[in-house]
Structure 1
Amino acid sequence: MTKAELRKEFRQKRQGLTDEELVIHSQAIAQHLILSSLVTSIHTLHVFLPIRKKKEVDMYEVIHRVQESYPQINIVVSRSNPDTRRLTHYLLTATTEIVENQWGIPEPVPGTSPEIADAEIDAVLIPLMAFDLAGNRVGYGMGFYDRFLSRCRQEVQKIGVSFFEPVPLITDITSDDVPLTACITPQEIWHFMH
């Protein structure tokens, strides 16, 4: 299936989830992450903040579980620039102010916490609509994460989070699409070799 077809299908599937399912699935994803080897040796973890109306994985649950189990890990969140389609990253601290942008994405207010360079990030938790058995992902189509991931260190872990299991194949992948190294679902963690 194409990215456009998958976006449509998985947007509907996600909207069909109940509030209770969102909580249960988000907790399962957080539990898989903290029990995995994906975070045991990292220093800086990039996390997206969820767009609630789009029924994304509750990353606040993930952040809480990581901070509880691995207090030494720095959590980083991003702010998007719609003109350049680039992300700027900030350390998430007790003083970080978070406000929603024009798309309803919660973002840090510059100046309320330190800025973090792409090269400092060890692992990235990535939002997605769908992913396939080869580790390719379908995002929202703006390219923010592909641009960001292409600027990270080669060895950065690219970890998707999804309420749903993979589709067999995304048919219109391009050379600009950055594949995942892993994807966490409520059922399991998928690992990919590239």
Structure 2
Amino acid sequence: MNQKNFIRAKTKEALEAMSDQDYIRDSRQIAEHLVNSSYWQASQLIALTISRHREVDTYQLINQAWKEKKRVAVPRTNVNEKSMRFYELSSFSQLEKRYSDLMEPLPEACTPVAEEQLDLIIVPGLAFDQSGARLGFGGGFYDRLLARVGTKTVALAFSCQLYPRLLTEAHDQLVDHIVTTDGFVR
């Protein structure tokens, strides 16, 4: 097993071992740090994925964005082209379950959003290091997106998702900041 697959497996195992109480508490703390940041406060159009399994809960962030009259953009993937397109979400009823159990927007119910309009991209991932290196889920969707846009990026991570150093390849894109229960670690 190569290092990336080993770290993916180890991280998934650690995430699944989290108690429900710890997951809820830690997700709330991470969200509070992000929402209180200047990055969040300066953003009017925020891109993020709908959390699944044991990813940091983004439902609360979406609700907070709507409460603050911010716009929320969620990607819809095209697996054959290894691409994604963002759509503005105004209700959770505009979602459907798709590729890899991802909840994605229904194109007929949402307005498309151009990538260059995004003020902040909350980048998903399984593992991160202090340099901003990230290990995703293996599709490369975000690496391709981040190579094209200059938008500020933030990743949300539980402590079990942080590693001293991740090996990166030429196509891997770094995130600008990582938010944990302790606040911004990068």
Query: Fold match, TM over 0.5?
Result: yes
RMSD value over aligned CA atoms? Answer: 1.6
Tell me what 1:167 maps to: 163
Q: 1:148: how far off?
A: 1.5
Q: 1:38: how far off?
A: 1.4
Tell me what 2:12 maps to: 11
Q: Which amino acid aligns with 2:175?
A: L
Tell me what 2:122 maps to: 125
CA contact (8 A) 1:96 1:112 kept: no
Unpaired runs of 5+ residues, structure 1, are none
Q: State how far apart, in whole Å, the 2-side matches of 1:13 and 1:183 are.
A: 19
Tell me what 1:80 maps to: 77
Q: Helix, strand or coil for the counterpart of 2:86?
A: strand
CA contact (8 A) 1:77 1:107 kept: yes
Q: Which amino acid aligns with 1:151?
A: R
Q: Helix, strand or coil for the counterpart of 1:179?
A: coil
CA spacing shift, 1:95–1:16, aligned 2, 3 Å: closer
1:65-144 → structure 2 map (5 Å cutoff): 65-68=64-67, 70-71=68-69, 73-94=70-91, 97-144=94-141
CA contact (8 A) 2:65 2:71 kept: no
Q: Which amino acid aligns with 2:146?
A: L
CA spacing shift, 1:95–1:141, aligned 2, 3 Å: closer
Q: Helix, strand or coil for the counterpart of 1:12?
A: helix
Tell me what 1:180 maps to: 175
CA spacing shift, 1:107–1:80, aligned 2, 3 Å: same
Over residues 150-169 of structure 1, what are the superposed CA-to-partner deviations in whole Å (9 max), with x where a residue is unaligned? 222x2x11111111263111
Unpaired runs of 5+ residues, structure 2, are none
Q: Which amino acid aligns with 2:87?
A: Y
Q: 1:65: how far off?
A: 2.3
What fraction of aligned residue pairs are identical, expressed as a percent? 24
Q: 1:95: how far off?
A: 8.0
Q: 1:45: how far off?
A: 0.6
> What is the number of residues matched between the two proteins?
184
Tell me what 2:24 maps to: 23
1:23-42 → structure 2 map (5 Å cutoff): 23-42=24-43
Q: Which amino acid aligns with 1:23?
A: I
Tell me what 1:149 maps to: 146
Query: Larger % of helix: which?
Result: 2
